[in-house]
Chain A
């Protein structure tokens, strides 16, 4: 990922270390120090809030800016996250998806990305490390074309700490795909302007309308860029959604990120046994591709959303968006909450859940591999405590 980011010729990198993103930023700092990454300033700061603030300043002054964080770090910079989007700054961020505490947990789930889903950043989810690299290249191009910040979500540890084969594109190819940054507006002492001024009730709604419209326009732009990427680099990366064996599928599994690899294996096994099953990888989560999801899923009688998020008191986050996309379709939608805090998602467990869903025996939402004995034990403990 550091190589992919480096190929995009960032001019300012400012990031604060946090598990599981640390080594990406360390690698970039080495590249800057050695001169391998030329004309790039690597700025050390005291916090994530500072990191994104510096990136905002750099981007506003016309520099291609990059940062990276996870979990608590993203929350620490939350104010700046909304700021960057509101100011229309094309900052690219790597988000090494990690659970949010309390309780403290360093392992993977998507709760961090979910916390910022309405901030106005484009959120892309990588399926594997090849796509993680490719999405960064797409991200810089998309961000600058739209004047909108982009978050590339990469599953912590599962992808960030995995070794797998990756084709790293050549510099000339990346240069052709990601031209030099031409800011829509820039802070320049020679031509002073104000950006980020106060907006009152008389215009705030209109400003937000434009921000919303920008996200809607991204829905058109993303597939176009994905097509261009495919033509130039010879492989698929990004796009809105990626169906897998959905033709004629009666049951479709919907998910984001690395779990799609495991899901494909389950789908193949199902298909080999004559089951009409497919999968849908939602690569772009924000803006949510309502139409693309609707199109792919409308033929299915049953959809099982496997997600690494939990909206407390409500249920699935991705599942809610999928339900919206399906509108009035009679499709059954199940929510499987899986992988929270880094719990492995196994083929065996998925298959068991899918079978239960297909037999209409699955609770809603279903917590994959929930340890019922542990729950019972803890409940007893609370009750005893209350009585004594």
Chain B
């Protein structure tokens, strides 16, 4: 299940309306893929891909300069980038400066996932980071969504990964 889908389920648990869908590229593993999520207090009717996102989560930092990942981002939008590197070494300083302070953040989600899950499956961690950044839905709702998808220990591990990423993004003001 993609991060977008987990996010939509979390929003649903909070009584919001949500829609998640992939953008439809190649069917093979390893091809760049985007997934979209809309969250609203009213039913979501739109079926077009999101072209003016309020927030962007980049799971694969190697795409940063290969694909126009930030296209259409709202002037007050949020960016969460999955990387170990410090923010100012990424070549994105222009965008960082344009966005409101603290809106462009990095988190080593693969490492956090590795630590809690034993594998670099970064979805939960990235969602935790996204919630810290945007407060789109609560961590409680995200935990419900995670546990609905992953039973038992795996659920707990994913929740822990999300919580660590959440804390990291919440606490650090820079990066």
The chain A residues found within 8 Å of chain B, CB to CB, are 19, 106-107, 128, 157-158, 161-165, 258-259, 261-262, 264-265, 342, 344-347
Contacts and interface: CB of A to CB of B under 8 A. Distances in A.
Contacts of A165: 12, 17-18
A345 B49 CA distance: 9
B21 A162 contact: yes
A269 B149 CA distance: 37
Contacts of B46: 261-262, 265, 347
B160 to A, nearest CB: 24
A107 B24 contact: yes
B82 to A, nearest CB: 22
A345 B48 contact: yes
Interface in B34-71: 44-49, 51
Nearest to A261: B45
A164 B43 CA distance: 10
Given A345-B47, A346-B51, A158 B27 contact: no
Contacts of B49: 344
B53 to A, nearest CB: 14
Contact of A164 (B27, B44, B48): B44
A163 B47 contact: no
A164 B22 contact: no
B158 interface: no
Contact of B21 (A163, A342, A345, A347): A163
Interface residues on B, range: 20 to 34
A280 B32 CA distance: 37
Contacts of A259: 47
* A-side interface mostly: loop
B110 interface: no
Nearest to A162: B21
Contacts of A161: 21-22, 24
B73 interface: no
Contacts of B8: 163-164
A265 B27 CA distance: 31
Contacts of A262: 45-48
27 contacts: A106-B27, A161-B22, A162-B20, A163-B4, A163-B8, A163-B18, A164-B8, A164-B19, A164-B20, A258-B47, A259-B47, A261-B46, A261-B47, A262-B45, A262-B46, A262-B47, A262-B48, A264-B45, A265-B45, A342-B24, A344-B48, A344-B49, A345-B47, A345-B48, A346-B48, A346-B51, A347-B48
